[in-house]
């Protein structure tokens, strides 16, 4: 990433100075602070007039928007319950997932968490600068929307303010709780869902900004080698190993990094460590066993990996570029191939083989990620993530990259805060929202409380199950 250790140094300095400022702010204004548990609340009247103005000025718009807010609330609640259930199912059914993702399934959204939990391949860096700006936007948008919808329904806004948990900064809007309780179920549900509704709208806006900034931050710079042609061969059909007659005992041939195998149908390669792992499964003396091997081809033979950026000096930016250049080559021709990955660039001179099916064509021996998503998957891939998984993208100058990842985190955190906040748990908006939903259906507070308590235990059981499943899988 363009923003490397230099920015990290300044980011950590910012974190230190910000923490000192929070301590100073709390100390010098301690007479205005109220402690609630481990959180300190600093109440002000900042923004109250703005909330009153919007709540009164745009009554028609808010009146329509509240139906969308409640609908989105139900969708997010259902989605969150589904995701939790699906996650625990995945950890139980596929425990090997912990070998790829070693981080626990429940992670705190704190600065630097991708680095702390080894998730750099899944998320871009979350600097403190990104985090504090995103959290501030999320909190202000969320809480002010609660206040605007509350004002629309005639509630008095007593105060606004900031919440502090160490260097963690939040915001709050405080309507009159007694007036809130006296409102009907629909009014309360619209106020409760207003925050997540605003977070979703904000996420969409920043996704659009991210789409605009993408081309300024990144440029296609190569075609990713997804894998190599592979298949299965029967152990009983192996004639030679590393060019020597195979006698049925692999122990005599495990002294190289890559093992060469030959059968009547052709030549194959397999990393020796992979061969050892497969032999443990099938058993060395199991003549009926099979091995998953790679076709002996120039790419794997010469340890070509990463993304192909140039062939004979010609830039390769798309799969079409790669296909066109290789079609111009002949079997037996020596080419200079440049590859690029996170560690830098590598140049190799390799000899192309003849294609196993079409001998007159040159054969490099690579598989590309050409899976074309369709329907909603294509829309999500092209609209939200922008990057073609088969293309390697190179970052341009630092500032556009900084803005892109900042916008990326603002959009993502808004979405996940909205999703998590509709979990039907008492301390979240989704808890009261769920309670009012059940009460509207049953018309009985006694029945509603029983169902609400059962749901709370169910959520707790899922969280405990997730952690236990992860620990057992490890």
Residue range 16-42, pLDDT digits in tens: 998 888 888 878 887 878 877 777 788
**Three-state DSSP class for 347?**
strand
pLDDT tier at 351 (50, 70, 90 boundaries)?
very high
pLDDT tier at 310 (50, 70, 90 boundaries)?
very high
Q: Are 354 and 326 in contact (CB under 8 A)?
A: no
* CA 239 to mean position of chain CA atoms: 46
- Residue 279: Cβ within 10 Å count: 18
Q: Residue ranges per domain, the chain?
A: 5-218+393-473, 230-296, 302-363
User: Per the structure block, which two tokens stand in for 318?
Assistant: 């798309």
- Measuring CA to CA, how many Å separate 48 from each of 68, 147, 250? 24, 8, 77
**Three-state DSSP class for 166?**
coil
Asked whether residue 145 carries a pLDDT value surpassing 90, the answer given is yes
Window from 250-259, 276-285, 294-303 with minimum mean pLDDT:
276-285
Average pLDDT over residues 50-67: 91
Average pLDDT over residues 229-238: 88
Asked whether residue 380 carries a pLDDT value surpassing 80, the answer given is no
**Three-state DSSP class for 47?**
coil
pLDDT digits (tens, 9 = 90+) for 427-457: 788 999 999 999 999 989 899 999 999 998 8
End-to-end CA separation in angstroms for the chain: 31
Give residue 172's region: left, alpha or beta (phi > 0; psi -120 to 50). beta
User: Which CATH number, 3.40.50.10860, 3.40.50.300, 1.20.1260.10, 2.30.42.10, labels domain 302-363?
Assistant: 2.30.42.10
pLDDT tier at 388 (50, 70, 90 boundaries)?
confident
Asked whether residue 287 carries a pLDDT value surpassing 50, the answer given is no
What does the alpha-carbon distance between residue 401 and residue 197 come to, in Å, rounded to a whole number? 29
pLDDT tier at 474 (50, 70, 90 boundaries)?
low
pLDDT above 90: percentage of residues in the chain = 33
Beta strands in 6-156 (DSSP E): 33-36, 39-44
User: Per the structure block, which two tokens stand in for 49?
Assistant: 């007039």
């Amino acid at each position: 990433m363009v923003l490397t250790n230099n920015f990290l140094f300044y980011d950590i300095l910012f974190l230190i100075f910000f923490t000192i400022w929070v301590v100073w702010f709390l100390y010098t204004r301690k007479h205005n602070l109220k402690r609630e548990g481990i959180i300190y609340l600093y109440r002000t009247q900042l923004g109250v007039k703005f909330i009153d103005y919007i709540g009164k000025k745009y009554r028609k718009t808010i009146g329509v928007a509240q139906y969308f807010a409640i609908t989105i609330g139900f969708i997010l609640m259902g989605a969150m319950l589904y995701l939790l259930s699906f996650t625990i199912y995945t950890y139980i059914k596929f425990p090997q997932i912990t070998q790829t993702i070693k981080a626990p399934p429940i992670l705190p959204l704190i600065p630097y968490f991708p680095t702390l939990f080894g998730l750099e391949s899944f998320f871009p860096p979350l600097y403190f600068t990104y985090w504090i700006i995103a959290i501030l936007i999320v909190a202000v948008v969320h809480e002010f929307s609660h206040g605007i919808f509350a004002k629309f329904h005639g509630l008095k806004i007593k105060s606004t303010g900031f919440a502090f948990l160490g260097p963690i900064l939040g915001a709050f809007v405080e309507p009159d709780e007694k007036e809130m309780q006296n409102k009907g179920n629909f009014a309360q549900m619209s106020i409760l869902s207003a925050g997540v509704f605003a977070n979703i709208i904000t996420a969409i806006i920043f996704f659009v900004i991210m789409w605009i900034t993408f081309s300024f931050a990144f440029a296609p710079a190569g075609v990713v080698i997804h894998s190599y042609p592979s298949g299965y061969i029967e152990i009983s059909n192996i004639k030679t190993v590393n060019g020597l007659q195979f006698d049925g005992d692999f122990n005599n041939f495990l002294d190289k990094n890559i093992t060469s195998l030959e059968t009547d149908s052709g030549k194959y390669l397999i990393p020796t460590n992979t061969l050892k792992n497969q032999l443990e499964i099938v058993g060395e003396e199991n003549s009926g066993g099979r091995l998953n091997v790679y076709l002996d081809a120039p790419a794997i033979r010469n340890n070509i990996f990463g993304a192909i950026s140039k062939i004979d000096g010609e830039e390769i930016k798309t799969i079409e570029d790669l296909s066109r250049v290789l079609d111009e080559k002949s079997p037996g021709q020596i080419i200079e191939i440049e590859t690029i990955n996170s560690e830098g660039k590598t140049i190799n001179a390799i000899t192309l083989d003849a294609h196993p099916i079409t001998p007159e064509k040159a054969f490099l021996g690579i598989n590309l990620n050409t899976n074309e998503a369709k329907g909603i998957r294509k829309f999500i891939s092209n609209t939200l993530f922008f990057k073609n998984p088969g293309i390697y993208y190179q970052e341009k100058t630092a500032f556009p990259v900084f803005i892109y990842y900042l916008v990326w985190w603002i959009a993502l955190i808004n979405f996940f805060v909205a999703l998590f906040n509709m979990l039907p748990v008492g301390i979240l908006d989704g808890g009261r929202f769920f309670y009012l939903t059940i009460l509207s259906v049953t018309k009985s507070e006694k029945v509603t409380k029983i169902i609400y308590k059962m749901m709370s235990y169910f959520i707790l059981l899922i969280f405990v199950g997730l952690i236990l499943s992860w620990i057992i899988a490890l």
